[in-house]
Amino acid sequence: MREIVTSPVRTKRWTRLEYERLIDLGAFAPDERLELLGGQLIVREPQGRPHATGIRLVARALRAVFGPDWNIEAQLPVALDEESEPEPDIAVVIGGPRDYIASHPSRPALVVEVALVSLALDRGEKASLYARAGVADYWILNLVDNLLEVYRDPVADPHRAHGWRYASTATLRRGDSVTPLARPDSAIPISHLLP
């Protein structure tokens, strides 16, 4: 019997600049929902009604708290590092829209992901990427369990997907409130965020 020789599957890791160049060249269809995470192109969660409603509610609550000196961006690119350009459901960045003509924002004050089928990805790979990039305030609006997960205090952890994790986590339910780190004088009722 002949021995079958196999070789490991090789994949191409993409840099953020390569990914942006492919976008500029029209390599992807306009309706393709992709984002670059740790050098890999990932297909994003489809937009169901609960997911879209969650994004709208979070954006409305954050706009009321942060005001006009901040951009509350829904599903727009964030240039985290050389191999990651996620499109979080909500990113809160200082400044106005024209401040980011030359490049995507790179240091959001707050990132929020709204999760149904993407819950494991948002808790694992994305949380590790956001922690590695120094995002101090990361929230997951968990529509599976109807609650808000708050992640803070990024720390190195070689056992995590991208070598980082959040040291502090909190689970908040209806009746609780959350205060963004960048707006310590403002509390948002969790009931305002949940569909």
Highest mean pLDDT among 17-21, 94-98, 184-188: 184-188
pLDDT in the model for residue 46: 73
pLDDT in the model for residue 90: 97
Helices (H), 37-117: 49-66
Domains recognised in the chain with CATH numbers: 46-192 (3.90.1570.10)
Q: Is residue 6 predicted with pLDDT exceeding 80?
A: no
Q: Is residue 40 predicted with pLDDT exceeding 90?
A: no
Partners of 112 in the beta sheet?
A: 90, 139
Task: Indicate the pTM of the whole model.
Answer: 0.87
What is the per-residue burial (b if ≥16 Cβ within 10 Å, else e) of 32-51?
Answer: eebbbbbbeebebbeeeeeb
Each residue's pLDDT tens digit, 80-138: 999 989 999 999 999 888 888 888 888 999 999 999 989 999 999 999 999 999 999 99
Residue 151's CB is within 10 A of a number of other CB atoms, namely: 23
CA dist., res. 32 & res. 22, Å (int):
13
Contacts of 100 (CB under 8 A, 6+ apart): 71, 93
Tell the burial category of 69 from Cβ atoms under 10 Å away from its Cβ (0-12, 13-18, 19+): exposed
